[in-house]
């Protein structure tokens, strides 16, 4: 799949990549991929040698292992364990403080301004697509979410095209990768054959300006065709796919399909899938007051439709069983989301598949729903 | 002057005192607690004893002796709100290992004069004997949850204690999941949160201190633990620690024990 953007192209070498990080660090908190606790996560990044140099990942249902590559690639892996949403939609976001001095109660809104804007460096195409989904869900509405809006406004995005997808990935079937779509400031395609280099493309005026200040050389046809070949090869090597045809109708029209009860036998309702998912945005509002203090704080904290508390209303939880909760997650993500926001809630990053402790595969569940009810009960797979 | 503060009593049955210590460890907050409540009975903290009835009673420990079985009834009768705190009080604690063992044998091995020991065959949670208004899980209970409990009781609202899994806390914290990335056995997916995902953050699988989540799917987790290489006897051991007698853990460990025979 050719790179869809039409910005300025140039070539950076490894010192040039460091120059990019340095330029970003002058104005932003740079967040990028790095190895931590046996996985590639996102975290503060100052030097390119902090990147997972020569590291790859084996990701499949319920399993993640780091792997040494045979080359020195710095972007040779798929979706990070921690998605980028952490930096635009943090796990805990303070919203207001209430002061009660005994006679008057005053409420002061809290809009924590990050000290510096964030630059997401080396995030993947699916991460970029997930940000676009969040933009639709949280910004494109009558009252945009002010907390998200503020964190999103200063964001600088350097996307790294995926050249080594994992077995859990299915972005091709969701139309979100491996080549990045729109919405980045700079895009990098790593080339390891021959000279180790990065084809860099600008996607915004800010990216264009920054690129002009970097030590680059002009891109030639060899660079371009190598990048195209790497992305084509990545797309072709992708083994998983979501059967998207008519999926929303299959999901929303079959609330009693036996596949829901079947998956509920395996699902732990642990919530890992929703919390690892880069687009899930559910929170609960938590009020904390210290004993004897006149001040209480209201914050929103990540929540998940898999918890019993999530649908707790007067009289108890609405979704008491695991099958109802799994159905909520999947029908929302891939069905109702389309009606709500005009886009699927899934970008095919595969995180929910990898990080499910029992390896439940959302693409396999979609196929199970496409099978007529009553047909061959599927064998229980770990 | 009449003291209008709510009265608080802290009782202990069979337990290690760890949960009461959590209350004592709330050093900074304890003054505020003391300002809001009248500590009427808390032998671990103060010698002064005020007679009941009490507004709030915290009960630590499980019922393991005939005397305790009687005493918990008296405590209930004296207490407007009764909260059981900790794994012992809410599921029977580590001492519920006796439920799956032979108490007579333990008694004869452990004590020089077993004849003096009056004990029950089972260690049971407080709620099995009297009505309990709230159960605060954990071994020990979490300081933040304990303060939330006291604050909400004093404010007259329901305590906000999440029943979500430990996994939720791992993800909030940003911990890389151990079973997925390293094949480590972890009870987190079926265990109620409260510890802030402490053990996984330090590379240890969850031990299940806060007991099973509502509707915990132990059968599926046990299947996965077997995939990770645990034998039925390993799974049995994993489930038989501080919440041995929690119904979901007990049922699954019994099933695994059958399989290991
Ligand atoms: S549903 Fe799964 S594959 Fe899709 S975006 Fe979320 S985590 Fe990624
Ligand atoms: S799938 Fe669940 S957690 Fe995710 S956005 Fe929908 S309701 Fe919220
Ligand atoms: S699908 Fe997997 S990750 Fe999601 S709640 Fe169920 S067991 Fe947990
Ligand atoms: S380490 Fe354990 S508790 Fe944490 S997410 Fe993984 S399974 Fe859940």
- Indicate whether B69 and B182 sit together in one domain: no
Q: Distances in Å between the alpha carbon of B179 and those of A46, A354, B188, B189?
A: 30, 11, 10, 10
Residue B1 lies in a domain: no
How many whole angstroms from its chain centre is CA A299? Answer: 23
| Reported confidence tier of residue B151, pLDDT bands at 50, 70, 90 | confident
- Indicate whether B213 and B243 sit together in one domain: yes
A212 contacts chain B (CB < 8 A): no
Q: Which of B111, B128, B155 is the last residue of a domain?
A: B155
Residue B160 lies in a domain: no
**Domain boundaries, position B177:** 166-259
Residue A18 lies in a domain: yes
Q: Rounded to a whole number, what is the distance in Å from the CA of B161 to chain A's nearest CA?
A: 10
- Indicate whether A219 and A357 sit together in one domain: no
Q: What pLDDT score was predicted for residue A5?
A: 46
DSSP symbol at A210:
H
B116 versus B182: the higher-pLDDT residue is B182
Instruction: Among B147, B163, B224, select the one facing A357 at the smallest CB separation.
Output: B224
Instruction: Among A64, A355, A358, select the one facing B220 at the smallest CB separation.
Output: A358
- Indicate whether A187 and A277 sit together in one domain: no
The secondary element (H helix, E strand) that includes residue A93 is strand A92-100
Residue A242 lies in a domain: no
CB contact set of B190 (below 8 Å; sequence gap of 6+): A268, A270, B165, B208, B212, B213, B216, B217, B218, B221, B248
Write the pLDDT tens digit of every residue in B99-127: 998 888 888 888 888 888 888 999 999 99
- Indicate whether A260 and A225 sit together in one domain: no
B189 contacts chain A (CB < 8 A): yes
- Indicate whether B150 and B29 sit together in one domain: yes
Interchain CB distance below 8 Å, A81 and B168: no
CA of A258 from ligand 3 middle (Å) equals 18
Residue A381 lies in a domain: no
Residue A382 lies in a domain: no
Residue A148 lies in a domain: yes
- Indicate whether A233 and A251 sit together in one domain: no
Q: Rounded to a whole number, what is the distance in Å from the CA of B121 to chain A's nearest CA?
A: 33
- Indicate whether B29 and B150 sit together in one domain: yes
Residue A366 lies in a domain: yes
ipTM above 0.90, yes or no: yes
Q: H/E/C letters for each residue in chain B?
A: CCCCCEEEEEEECECCCHHHHHHHCCHHHHHHHHHHEEEEECCCCCCCCCCCCEEEEEEECEECCHHHHHHHHHHHHHEEEEEEEHHHHHHCCHHHHHHHCCHHHHHHHHCCCHHHCCCCCCCECHHHCCCCCEEECECCECHHHHHHHHHHHHHCCCCCCCCCEHHHHHHHHCCCCHHHHHCCCCCHHHEECCCCCHHHHCCCCCCCCCCECCCCCHHHHHHHHHHCCCCHHHHHHHHCCCCCCCHHHHHHHHHHHHHHC
- Indicate whether A335 and A317 sit together in one domain: yes
| Residue with CA at minimum distance from ligand 1 atom 2 | A352
Residue A325 lies in a domain: yes
CB distance B178 to B158 below 8 Å: no
Residue B221 lies in a domain: yes
Task: Please determine, for residue B90, whether its predicted confidence score (pLDDT) is greater than 60.
Answer: yes
Q: What pLDDT score was predicted for residue B115?
A: 84
CB distance B163 to A307 below 8 Å: yes
Q: Which of A217, A237, A257 is the last residue of a domain?
A: A237
Q: How far apart are CA B11 and CA A201, in angstroms?
A: 68
- Indicate whether A143 and A222 sit together in one domain: yes
**Domain boundaries, position A202:** 9-91+113-237
Residue B184 lies in a domain: yes
Q: How far apart are CA B238 and CA A236, in angstroms?
A: 44
A277 Cα nearest atom in ligand 1? 7
Q: Which of A189, A215, A237 is the last residue of a domain?
A: A237
Residue B70 lies in a domain: yes
CA of A42 from ligand 1 middle (Å) equals 17
Q: Does ligand 2 have an atom closer than 6 angstroms to the CB of A332?
A: yes
Q: How far apart are CA B93 and CA B12, in angstroms?
A: 13
The low-confidence residues of chain A, meaning pLDDT below 70, are 1-6, 374-382
- Indicate whether B16 and B113 sit together in one domain: yes
pTM of the model: 0.94
| Reported confidence tier of residue B1, pLDDT bands at 50, 70, 90 | low
- Indicate whether A217 and A274 sit together in one domain: no
Residue B227 lies in a domain: yes
Average pLDDT over residues B67-74: 96
CB distance A132 to A202 below 8 Å: no
- Indicate whether A311 and A193 sit together in one domain: no
- Indicate whether B78 and B149 sit together in one domain: yes
Q: What pLDDT score was predicted for residue A316?
A: 84
| Reported confidence tier of residue B35, pLDDT bands at 50, 70, 90 | confident
Residue B218 lies in a domain: yes
List the 207-236 stretch of B: residues with Cβ below 8 A of A. Answer: 213-217, 219-221, 223-224, 227
Residue A138 lies in a domain: yes
Q: How far apart are CA A142 and CA A133, in angstroms?
A: 16
What's the total number of domains in chain A?
A: 2
CA of A115 from ligand 3 middle (Å) equals 35
- Indicate whether B96 and B14 sit together in one domain: yes
Q: Does ligand 4 have an atom closer than 6 angstroms to the CB of B166?
A: yes
Q: How far apart are CA A52 and CA A76, in angstroms?
A: 8
Place of tokens 């998956």: A263
């Amino acid at each position: 799949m050719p790179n869809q953007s039409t910005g300025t192209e140039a070539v950076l070498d490894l010192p040039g990549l460091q120059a990019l990080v340095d330029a970003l660090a002058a104005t932003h908190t740079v967040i990028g991929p790095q190895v931590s606790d046996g996985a590639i996560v996102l975290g503060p990044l100052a030097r390119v040698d902090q990147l997972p140099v020569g590291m790859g990942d084996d990701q499949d249902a319920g399993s993640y292992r780091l792997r040494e590559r045979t080359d020195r690639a710095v972007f040779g892996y798929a979706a990070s364990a921690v998605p980028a949403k952490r930096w635009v939609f943090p796990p805990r976001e303070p919203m207001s403080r209430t002061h009660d001095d005994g006679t008057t109660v005053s409420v002061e809104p809290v809009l924590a301004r990050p000290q510096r804007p964030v630059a997401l460096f080396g995030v993947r195409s699916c991460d970029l697509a997930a940000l676009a989904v969040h933009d639709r869900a949280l910004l494109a509405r009558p009252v945009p979410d002010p907390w998200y809006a503020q964190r999103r406004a200063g964001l600088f995005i350097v996307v790294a095209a995926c050249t080594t997808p994992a077995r859990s990935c299915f972005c091709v079937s969701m139309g979100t990768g491996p080549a990045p779509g729109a919405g980045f400031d700079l895009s990098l395609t790593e080339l390891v054959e021959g000279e180790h280099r990065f084809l860099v493309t600008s996607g915004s005026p800010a990216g264009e300006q920054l690129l002009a200040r970097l030590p680059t050389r002009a891109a030639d046809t060899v660079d371009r065709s190598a990048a195209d070949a790497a992305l084509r090869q990545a797309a072709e090597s992708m083994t998983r796919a979501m059967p998207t045809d008519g999926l929303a109708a299959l999901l929303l029209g079959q609330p009693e399909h036996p596949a829901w009860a079947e998956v509920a036998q395996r699902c732990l309702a642990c919530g890992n899938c929703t919390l690892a998912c880069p687009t899930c945005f559910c929170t609960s509002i938590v009020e904390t007051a210290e004993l004897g203090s006149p001040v209480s704080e209201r914050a929103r904290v990540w929540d998940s439709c898999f918890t019993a508390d999530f649908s707790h209303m007067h009289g108890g939880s609405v979704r008491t069983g695991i099958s109802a909760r799994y159905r909520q997650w999947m029908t929302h993500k891939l069905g109702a989301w389309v009606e709500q926001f005009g886009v699927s809630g899934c970008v095919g990053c595969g995180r929910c598949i990898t990080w499910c402790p029992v390896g439940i595969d959302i693409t396999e569940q979609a196929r199970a729903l496409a099978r007529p009810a009553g047909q061959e009960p599927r064998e229980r797979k770990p | 002057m009449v003291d209008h503060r709510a009265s608080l009593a802290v009782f202990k049955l069979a337990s290690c005192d760890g949960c009461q210590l959590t209350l004592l460890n709330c050093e900074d907050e304890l003054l505020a607690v003391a300002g809001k409540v009248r500590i009427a009975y808390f032998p671990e903290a103060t010698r002064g004893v005020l007679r009941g009835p009490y507004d709030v009673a915290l009960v630590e420990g499980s019922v393991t002796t005939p005397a305790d079985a009687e005493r918990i009834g008296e405590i209930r009768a004296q207490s407007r709100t009764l909260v059981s705190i900790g794994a012992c009080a809410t599921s029977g604690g580590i001492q519920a290992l006796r439920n799956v063992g032979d108490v007579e044998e333990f008694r004869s091995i452990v004590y020089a004069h077993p004849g003096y020991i009056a004990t029950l065959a089972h260690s049971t949670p407080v709620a099995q004997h009297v009505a309990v208004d709230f159960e605060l899980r954990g071994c020990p209970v979490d300081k933040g949850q304990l303060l939330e409990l006291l604050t909400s009781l004093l404010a007259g609202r329901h305590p906000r204690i999440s029943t979500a899994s430990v996994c939720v806390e791992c993800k909030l914290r940003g911990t890389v999941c151990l079973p997925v990335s390293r094949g480590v056995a972890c009870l987190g997916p079926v265990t109620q949160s409260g510890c802030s995902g402490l053990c996984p953050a330090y590379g240890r699988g969850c031990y299940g201190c806060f007991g099973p989540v509502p509707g915990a799917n132990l059968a599926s987790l046990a299947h996965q633990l077997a995939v990770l290489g645990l034998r039925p006897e390993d799974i049995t051991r994993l489930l038989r620690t501080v919440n041995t007698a929690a119904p979901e853990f007990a049922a699954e460990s019994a099933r695994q024990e059958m399989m290991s025979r």
